[in-house]
């Protein structure tokens, strides 16, 4: 059997294959009104097409645990019941196609309140539905961003509670995987890295202090997330700040073990996003070695992502023991039926809707 199409089980949940879709923001939710942050017809067709194409797990894009936690005013959120109800339509369709429905829960921190990428992605003010960003320290991400407000200890505790409440709502919405967003320079990643965290209290300074917020979030989510369902954590394995203070691959291997002890079942391994102007050696599979280190040095299941674009490449990563699953971003945007095509190439089996039987 092809490794890419071998089922995979975490806790009591079995994924039909290892072709997984990572979170990719669509910036297509309403910025105001009664359905602010709720998924729309765009989201339904976007995720539904990939499910009909045979994708084993779809992780819905970064979803704000509060209005201020969104990256942009056009991002999804899951802080109220109207959003939960809108998500149920999507999760029900994904399940009808044999796809596992996951959601990424996040808070953007100092990178919040920005415009859509195709509008330049710069910060937006109140006149454009924007708000005051918060962070571990009052340090702007780059010259375009204003300095965020430094979170108080009470503010940190409030956000921990928002993650837990968002996880509870996610379960009610029909999701079976929750992923905590600790990557790409958003709030949890900002706490992890000494590049962005200059605090001198119990949330800053040492490795133990800088990881405290992340582990408190994990504990709060795990407390409301069923024991039989898996919890993921997405991490940027390195800030790519060679020779400067930042989060490193060695930190990630150590932290992966900490996360596993707190109930995380799989690490979704990416890199970068916390420091502007860094040089990243982008190329095919450039982030796979970081996933391999998590899997083989920390002994924690890991998923690989980053310019993985063809079936043979994905198969080789799994066969070499570098990852337990493959997250295909750009390729699933290009080809919603990647899984079906890859199954033909590799001799694997994948769900095909009856309506598409002539495509087999």
Task: Please determine, for residue 210, whether its predicted confidence score (pLDDT) is greater than 90.
Answer: yes
Torsions phi, psi of 104, nearest 5?
-100, 125
Show the tokens assigned to 154.
């009470």
Q: What's the mean pLDDT in 72-86? A: 98
- How confident is the model at residue 227, as a pLDDT? 98
Domain containing 208 equals: 3-359
Q: What's the mean pLDDT in 29-49? A: 97
Q: Residues 178-190, buried b or exposed e (16+ Cβ, 10 A)?
A: bbbbbbbbbbbbb
Indicate the average pLDDT of the chain: 97
Show the tokens assigned to 13.
């949940």
Residues 310 and 332 sit within 8 Å (Cβ to Cβ): no
State the Cα–Cα distance between residues 215 and 300, nearest whole angstrom: 16
State the Cα–Cα distance between residues 226 and 58, nearest whole angstrom: 19
* Residues with Cβ within 8 Å of residue 274, at least 6 apart in sequence: 184, 185, 189, 190, 193, 195, 196, 236, 239, 246, 247
- How confident is the model at residue 251, as a pLDDT? 98
- How confident is the model at residue 172, as a pLDDT? 98
CB neighbours of residue 330 within 10 Å: 13
Task: Please determine, for residue 360, whether its predicted confidence score (pLDDT) is greater than 80.
Answer: no
> Which residue in this structure is represented by tokens 């394995």?
237
Q: Is 276 helix (H, G, I), strand (E, B) or coil?
A: coil
User: Domain count of the chain?
Assistant: 1
Q: Which band of pLDDT confidence, cut at 50, 70 and 90, is reported for residue 358? A: confident
Task: Please determine, for residue 139, whether its predicted confidence score (pLDDT) is greater than 80.
Answer: yes
Q: What's the mean pLDDT in 284-304? A: 98
Q: Give me the catalytic one of 8, 27, 47, 186.
A: 186
- How confident is the model at residue 33, as a pLDDT? 94
CB neighbours of residue 321 within 10 Å: 11
Residue 186: active-site member: yes
- How confident is the model at residue 242, as a pLDDT? 86
**What's the CATH code of the domain at 64?**
3.20.20.70
- How confident is the model at residue 244, as a pLDDT? 86
């Amino acid at each position: 059997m092809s490794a890419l199409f071998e089922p995979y089980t975490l806790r009591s949940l079995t994924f039909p294959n290892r072709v997984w879709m990572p979170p990719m923001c669509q910036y297509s939710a309403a910025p105001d009104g009664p359905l602010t942050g709720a998924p729309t017809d765009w989201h339904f067709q976007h995720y539904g097409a990939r499910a009909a194409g045979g994708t084993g797990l779809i992780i819905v894009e970064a979803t704000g645990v509060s209005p201020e936690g969104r990256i942009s005013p056009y991002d999804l959120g899951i802080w109220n019941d109207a959003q939960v109800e809108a998500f149920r339509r999507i999760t029900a369709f994904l399940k009808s196609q044999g796809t596992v429905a996951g959601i990424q829960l996040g808070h953007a921190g100092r990178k919040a309140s920005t415009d859509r990428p195709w509008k330049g992605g710069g910060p937006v003010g109140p006149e454009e539905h924007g708000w005051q960003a918060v962070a571990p320290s009052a340090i702007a991400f780059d010259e375009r961003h204003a300095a965020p407000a430094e979170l108080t200890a009470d503010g940190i505790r409030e956000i921990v509670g928002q993650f837990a409440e968002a996880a509870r709502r996610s379960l009610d919405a029909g999701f079976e995987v929750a992923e905590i967003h600790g990557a790409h320079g958003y709030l949890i990643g900002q706490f992890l890295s000494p590049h962005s965290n200059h605090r001198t209290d119990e949330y800053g300074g040492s490795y133990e202090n800088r990881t405290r917020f992340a582990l408190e979030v994990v504990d709060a989510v795990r407390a409301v997330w069923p024991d039989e369902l898996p919890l993921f954590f997405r991490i940027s394995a390195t800030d790519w700040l060679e020779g400067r203070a930042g989060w490193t691959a060695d930190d990630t291997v150590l932290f992966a073990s900490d996360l596993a002890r707190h109930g995380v079942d799989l690490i979704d391994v990416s890199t970068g996003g916390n420091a502007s102007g860094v040089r990243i050696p982008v190329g095919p599979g450039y982030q796979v070695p970081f996933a391999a280190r998590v899997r083989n040095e920390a002994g924690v299941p890991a998923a690989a992502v980053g310019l993985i674009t063809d079936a043979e490449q994905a198969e080789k990563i799994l066969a070499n023991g570098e990852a337990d699953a493959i997250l295909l971003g750009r390729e699933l945007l290009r080809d919603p039926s990647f899984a079906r095509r890859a199954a033909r190439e590799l001799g694997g089996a994948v769900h095909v809707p009856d309506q598409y039987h002539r495509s087999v």
